[in-house]
Structure formats: C-alpha cells, structure tokens
Amino acid sequence: MKKIILDVDPGIDDSLAILLAAKSDLNIVGITVASGNVEVNQGSINAIKALEIAGRDIPVYKGAELPLVRDYVDATDTHGPDGLSGMNYKVKGKANDGAIDFILDTIKENPNEVTICALGPLTNLALAIEKDIETMRKVGRIVVMGGAAKIHGNCSPVAEYNFWVDPHAAKRFFKANLPNVTVAGLDVTYDILFSPNMREMVKQFGGEVAQYVYDITQFYVDFHWEQERTLGCIINDPLLVSYLIDESIMKAYPCNIDVETEDLCIGESVVGFDVPSDFDGDYPINAKMCMEVDKVKFFDVFFKTIFPEHVADYELMKKKGYILK
C-alpha cells in the first residue's frame, strides 16, 4: 500500500485532515510539520493531539521554523492563539526533529511509491528539493492545498495563505516540476463549509472525537462570521485527504503553476490552463489544478470515516435536510 506523508501546519483544518487520515485506511507513515498557521513547535503538539484523539501512533517530525525569505506571519487570528481555538491541549507524545531527512529517506527507501499530502506552506518541500532534488523526483505523487486560480484569495484579493506565507518556497516547488502534482486551492475549498448545523450534529454524536471536533472549530466559526459574514467555517485541508481516499471527489485539469514573489500580487498562484502540451519553455505543464468538487461526496467521506459509528445518524440528518441543504 502506498506510503503517505502528511506535511502540515496545524491549524484547525489541518488537525481535521490529520484526524480524517488517521481514522481512514490510508497508510500514513509520518507527519512533518512546518511553521504556518502556528509556529512549528505548537504545530507539532497539535499534530500529536490529533493522532492521540484518533488513537494512532504515527511519528511526527518538526521541519522549517521560518519561511525561506519572507518575514513569518502566522494565522493565529484565524485559528486561535494555539492554532486550535485556544484549547491549549497537553499531549503525551513528543515530536522528532528532522522532517526534511524523514521525507527524503522515506522516498529513497520507497522510490515512486510515496505520496506527500502537503497542507501547509511548502517550506519543507522546498528545503527537501534544495537538499536532494534527485530523490524528490522519485516521489510517487504530491497533492497540495494552496493557491487560487479563478477566485478571490484569503490574504489579498489574489493570494491564498499557504503560498502567500512562503511564496519563494511555493515558487521553488513548482519550478522543480516534480512528477504527478495535484493542487486544490480556494476554487474548490470555498465549497467545503462546515456549518453550525454540522457542528451541533457532531456535538450530539458525543464522545471524545466529537467533542474535539466541536471544540477546535469554535474559533473558526467566530472568525468566519466576524470577517466575511460566512456562517460556518471553511475546512480546506481535509478535502485533500478525502481526495486520496476517493479521487472522484474532485476534477483536476493540467496547467502550469507559477507563484508571484514580489509586490502587489505576492503569493499569487498564476495558473495557466492553455499551455500547449508540447510546450517546453519557461512554463511547462507542471501540475493539475482542481476546479470542480463534489461536496456531498466529500462530507460523506469525512463524517463516515471520522464517525463510523454514526453513519445512520448522518444519513438521517442529510435526508431531513438538516445538513447539506
């Protein structure tokens, strides 16, 4: 079974993504963390918490503390001071150092068999590329959450956070032209709205997992309402995990992706869909970008995987139109 590494910056939606992955049949061999939504030490604690909630023992590795070039800007305004709505969880486990080596070693031992699911800034992957691009070329597949092709950004009208926080890493990542890269950005994740109705349903499910999901999303709901009058929160990252579970959830199109590293549009993903397939200039086809999503299918996977004992309740809530109206 394909070995999967989650590269994350948890963060509320990253934590949900870890939980989803850890409760699924996916073969998660390790989690690497970079500074993003929160700085790397806090992010590692949050990653371990999600694994403990899922009852899984998967190693966590700390990676980049800072973006490659830019000054670091966290997203605690969105995720809460600790990245998890201020819950300040204590954990039993400890994170290891050496995220970059873990990524490279895993690929070396399993050439063309490793999938990386990158849900945070691309700093760790850019550092791995810098250290050993030949090994990185032997990755089996990479799915990335980031960017925005034809929709407004969340850090500026044109930029999405993961690419915006470390645009140089993102640029280096796409310039490396690694095999089999699929990107899902705000074009599809804006549809993944975890509504208050869903939250209340989860609370009624009861139990430790449900309470955790309920607690960590509180701040997110408040933020989205305050900031953009969206009722509910957009949970970007689990979408990529669901895509690894069921590829029919999103439709992706070949494109060239480059990233702006200066001035007004810094961090913008510049996505060209009309690159001729025989073009070998500066802008080759280097990725597929997801532009369509089946959100009902996503939530089916999300709830049924995380709460397998409540599938009947979930289906009933759907049927009654209480969720996914």
Partner 1 sequence: MDKRKIIFDTDPGIDDAYGIIAAMKQPDMDVLGICTVAGNKGIEFTTTNALKLVHLMDYDCMVYKGAGESMLKVSEDAGATHGADGLGGVKLDYDESKLSDMHAVDYILETVKANPGEIEIIALGPVTNIALAIEKDPETMKKVKVIWTMGGGVHRGNITPVAEFNYWYDAKAVEIMFSIGTDVPIHMIGLDVTHASVFTGNDLTFMKLEGGKLGEILFEMVGPYIESYWKHSRYTGCVIHDLLTVIYAIDQSVCPEEGIYHSNLRVSTKGITIGQTVVDLVNSWKLPVNSIVPMKVDSRKYKEIFFEVLFGKEKVELYKKHVKS
C-alpha 49/C-alpha 19 separation (Å) is 9
Helix, strand, coil % in the chain, rounded to nearest 5? 45, 20, 40
- CB of 33 vs partner 1, minimal distance in Å: 29
> In terms of CB distance, is 176 or 270 closer to partner 1?
270
Q: Which of residues 81-100 bind partner 1 (CB under 8 A)?
A: none
> In terms of CB distance, is 19 or 265 closer to partner 1?
265
Q: Which of these, 241, 212, 232, lies nearest to 302 by C-alpha position?
A: 241
Q: Which of residues 212-241 bind partner 1 (CB under 8 A)?
A: 228
- Taking a C-beta distance cutoff of 8 angstroms, is the pair 198, 323 a contact? yes
Q: Which of residues 236-295 bind partner 1 (CB under 8 A)?
A: 256, 258, 260-265, 268, 270-274
C-alpha 68/C-alpha 190 separation (Å) is 28
C-alpha 226/C-alpha 113 separation (Å) is 43
C-alpha 288/C-alpha 183 separation (Å) is 6
How many residues of this chain interact with partner 1, rule: CB under 8 A?
21
> In terms of CB distance, is 159 or 241 closer to partner 1?
159
- CB of 157 vs partner 1, minimal distance in Å: 5
- CB of 92 vs partner 1, minimal distance in Å: 41
Our finding on whether 176 is near partner 1 (CB under 8 A) is no
Q: Residue 313, class by beta-carbon neighbours within 10 Å (0-12 exposed, 13-18 middle, 19+ buried)?
A: middle
* Distance from the first to the final alpha carbon of the chain: 36
> In terms of CB distance, is 18 or 265 closer to partner 1?
265
What's 93's DSSP letter?
Answer: -
> In terms of CB distance, is 46 or 256 closer to partner 1?
256
Q: Which pair of structure tokens corresponds to residue 69? A: 């070039």
- Taking a C-beta distance cutoff of 8 angstroms, is the pair 35, 123 a contact? yes
Which of 94, 108, 131, 152 contacts partner 1 by CB under 8 A? 152
Stretch that binds partner 1, among 85-93, 102-110, 131-139, 153-161 (CB under 8 A): 153-161
Binding site for partner 1 (CB under 8 A): 150-152, 156-158, 228, 256, 258, 260-265, 268, 270-274
